[in-house]
Structure 1
Amino acid sequence: MSAPGKIIMIRHGQSAANLDQTLYNRIPDYRIPLTGLGKAQAAAAGEQIRRQLNGQKVCVYVSPYLRAYQTLEAMNLGDLVDRTIEEPRLREQDWANFQNPVEIADQKELRNAYGHFFYRFREGESGSDVYDRVSSLMETLHRHWSKPDYAPNTLLVTHGLTMRLFCMRWFHWSVEYFESLNNPGNAEIRTLVRDGARYYLEKNFAQWTQANPTDTVLDAPDHIW
């Protein structure tokens, strides 16, 4: 096996903190569970993924966060799963340990002004930090894919920003293009489909502003200092 036929990515279903962000102040981010709706979203996504797999096996890599594991469980892929590997590099962007909602809101405003890729949260990561660990993950994936008994497909159960950065790294998108993209919704799927030696993204990420994958900072609007 040299490369999987499909690389399927899914964002976790709705979490309790998607409804009540004050939870970040008293529950570790990685222990925040799905809501009932989040589990239903994941179950529906599982049906979509089973159709995509069409009876073929899949090797699963899952973020160590509770909401990612619960998403995988609710998808109920059964014997289509060849192997499940916990992969910490698929975790959410680190923002802080216990998060002060007021301080995080201030930092989000700063991030919007500065840029999502380069802005680093005071006790956490920047988007570029996540990009670096996703790049490291890709090296591991290529080693796994070189094994003759590897499953025909790959599934990544992860988080919205991580999905965007995985595609940015894979398709060599520019920072300016990344900045134009919205996160996928809860339990939304994005699939890289192999066509010969190359892959294409079956469904693009929505954009909040117009940009092209090759745009650079030279193409960005002028700033007034």
Structure 2
Amino acid sequence: MRIILLRHGQSLGNVDELAYCRIPDHALPLTGLGEQQARAAGATIKELIGDGPVAAYVSPYKRTRRTFELLGVDAERIITEPRVREQDWGNLQDPAEQEVLKHQRHAFGHFFFRLPNGESGADVDDRVAAFLDGLTVRLHEDETHPKTVLIVSHGLTIRLLCRRLFDWSIELFESLSNVDTCENRVLDHDGTGWKLDRPFDQWRDSPDGTVQHS
């Protein structure tokens, strides 16, 4: 069994934070570069999928759906999956307030800090856990479900998907950096457990001393 995690291509929000003031987060489009990244990633993703069937679970946000479309992957199943969406920061955002919240979130911790009118990292972790529970059942018990899965999602959500699968500590999760836009991570199941193809970058050592052993 294989799970391929892919972050969306560069979006307008990645280059213009004021875009969040006039466009809902879920509706932010890819930039021109983001579209190029998604097209270029197609060959890599197809090689990782191989010749067998694949099921694609795609965040409902515009930037993730467009990224999947541009990959050109012929998936046997395509499921729009809200549980792998971005962390909810609320509706149209005030730039001054968001700057304050980012500093507070960094000081408090990305996992437990709850955004006003939005989610904490722990909230995302909960919905990711529910998604993974259902996916695990389908992979093991549904003979018709492809054994290769592509998940097109977002930076923090991808880190939390791995945190849940590998039971990483919260301290380790908060020490990891997001993958770059259109960067992937691959998880393979060897019959005993999941293995991660390569670690995430870390901006500091985990305070509790744990590391990214899968």
TM-score by length of 1: 0.90
Q: Distance in 2 between matches of 1:183 and 1:44?
A: 20
The residue number in structure 2 matching 1:197 is: 192
* Counterpart contact for 1:190–1:201, Cα < 8 Å: yes
Report if aligned partners of 1:173, 1:213 keep a CA contact under 8 Å in 2: no
User: Counterpart of 1:90?
Assistant: 84
CA distance in 2: counterparts of 1:143 and 1:175, whole angstroms = 25
1:200-215, aligned counterparts within 5 Å?
200-211=195-206, 215=210
Q: Is the contact between residue 25 and residue 101 of structure 1 (CA under 8 Å) also seen in structure 2? A: yes
Deviations 1:107-140 (A, max 9, x none): 0000111111111111110101100000111121
Q: Structure 1: 5+ residue runs without aligned partners?
A: 216-225
Q: Does 1:106 align with 2:100?
A: yes
Alignment of 1:1-225 (within 5 A): 5-78=1-74, 81-145=75-139, 146-211=141-206, 215=210
Structure 2: 5+ residue stretches without partners: none
Alignment partner of 1:200: what SS?
strand
Distance, in Å, in 2 between the alignment partners of 1:176 and 1:131 is 14
Q: Work out the percentage of aligned pairs sharing the same amino acid.
A: 45
Pairwise CA distance, 1:54: 1.7
Q: State the Cα distance separating 1:194 from its structure 2 match.
A: 1.5
Whether the 8 Å CA contact 2:165–2:194 is kept in 1: the answer is: no
Q: What are the superposed Cα offsets for residues 156-208 of structure 1, whole Å, 9 maximum, x if unpaired?
A: 11000000001001100001111110011101101101222211100211000
CA–CA distance in 2 between the matches of 1:54 and 1:209?
A: 35
How many angstroms apart in 2 are the aligned matches of 1:213 and 1:199? 23
Aligned-pair distance for 1:210? 1.1
Which structure has the larger Rg over C-alpha atoms? 1
Whether the 8 Å CA contact 1:62–1:86 is kept in 2: the answer is: yes
TM-score, length basis structure 2 = 0.94
Inter-partner Cα distance in structure 1 for 2:95 and 2:5: 29
Please report how far the alpha carbon of residue 72 of structure 1 lies from its aligned counterpart in structure 2 after TM superposition.
0.1
CA distance 1:204–1:96, shift in 2 (3 Å) = same
| CA root-mean-square deviation | 1.5
Q: Do the aligned partners of residues 147 and 212 (structure 1) sit closer, same or farther apart at CA in structure 2, a change above 3 Å counting?
A: farther
Taking the aligned partners of 1:138 and 1:52, their CA distance within structure 2 comes to 21
| CA displacement at 1:212 relative to structure 2 | 7.8
Give the counterpart letter for 1:94 in structure 2. D
Q: Which amino acid aligns with 1:87?
A: E
